[in-house]
Structure 1
Amino acid sequence: MFPLVQILHQKGCYITGSDNNDTDTVEYERSVLGIPVQIGHDPSHLNGADCVIYTAAIPPENPELKAAMDSGILVLERAKMLGLITQGYHNAICVSGTHGKTTTSAMITQILLEADMDPSVVIGGKLPLLHGSGRVGKSDLMVCEACEFKDHFLELSSDVSVILNVDADHLEYFGTLENIIRSFRQFAEQTSRTLIVNGDDENTRKAIAGITGKKIITFGHSDHCDYYPLSVCYHPESKTTFTL
């Protein structure tokens, strides 16, 4: 949630919040951003709110969420709000896949920052360079981790979509691998410009099969991919070099 807070705050929204625990993030929001954050949940915290944003981890019986639903205030789950935010960027890079989303999102972020391209970032883990999981940039570039859980990634407005792999996961929601592949296909079809996909992954190939009207770039270890490594060398100091 914190990267969304940063972006909305920078765009001039007045934000209040509540949390169960008084964490370092809460302290930063209070002391640096000037955002009032209450510990504990109470309907009185909603006074004056035009919109309430909550995460999927919040149960329906939460007193603030229930009061918001009952009052008619606009209520958005985090993924819906993130989707609205991505609409404000002309170059939203959304990184999806069953495995490796956070690592790849962090790598793309590092590259863009080193190139002085000043992206906004929302990722699922803490990146040392950011001292956190997100940042607000001044460019029209955004790097966003696109999670398939409960089809949350279908809320995003992606200009460049990365699909790392497609595997059987979250079956309590999807039921079958075929349903997962179908969701990734919809994610790919919703992408406005470019798909960058794992050409070695069979399920990823199934997900994008027959899609037209977009630039498709493949990567992998095989020479049938657009980009693949040659002369791979593993060095003892935990470094890998190769020719692309």
Structure 2
Amino acid sequence: MADNPRNIINIVVPFALDSSIGQVVGITSDFNYIETTSSVTSFSFPQSFSFYPNGTGPLELSVATIEEKFSEPLSSGSLRLVSSVDVKDRPTVQFNYFKDPKDLARCVRGMRLVGDMLKTDAMERLKFEDLEGAEGFRFLGPSLPRNLSDDASMETFCRSTMMTIWHYHGGCLVGKVVDGDLRVVGTNSLRVVNGSIFNTSPGTNPQATLMMIGRYIGCRMLQKEQRNRLSIIYHI
């Protein structure tokens, strides 16, 4: 089992943003994917802290999210069945994120690139100005270390902010759990057609790839059924 780790920073923006889904804005030479999303986050406060007379009042913040993730992590884990008879018992899954030091180094390189992005002129409009006239970013959650060249600080940031991108793969590998037709070994009518059959998963969303594979397997099943019917008719 493996999963593509990702790390993010959330920047509160001083103007209104429309919500948007993740979009790839850059891919590095070692296939680190840099993506951005935007959202409006609402907060409510107890009456004693509210400026609103009717109890709680919402506070809406526009948030720009910059995330880094990478494909083909070297770190892998395991999937073990808890029960061989009850399908309701969830299996035990362990991904071992950043177990391989090369994965951790890739995260550090990717997040340093994000830090370099924050220093560009294009990001100036996302800064707030304080009462003394100094400008700076306002983060929702953890911010990047001040010293991007400090390996230890960057590694700590990567480990503490790591989250999944839900691209799990490797649980039903071809040749081990399923055969070349994606049929579960030892069965005749059970197939697995999802991300678990992948040896590796791209850094971007694999949905289109999975839909294509599903259609391909479905067409093969229909063609085989049609051939079987023609064979029966021929013999009759």
TM-score range, shorter chain: under 0.3
Greater RCO structure (CA 8 Å; 6+ sep): 2
Q: How does the TM-score come out when normalised to structure 2?
A: 0.22
Give the TM-score taking structure 1 as reference length: 0.22
Which of the pair has more CA radius of gyration? 2
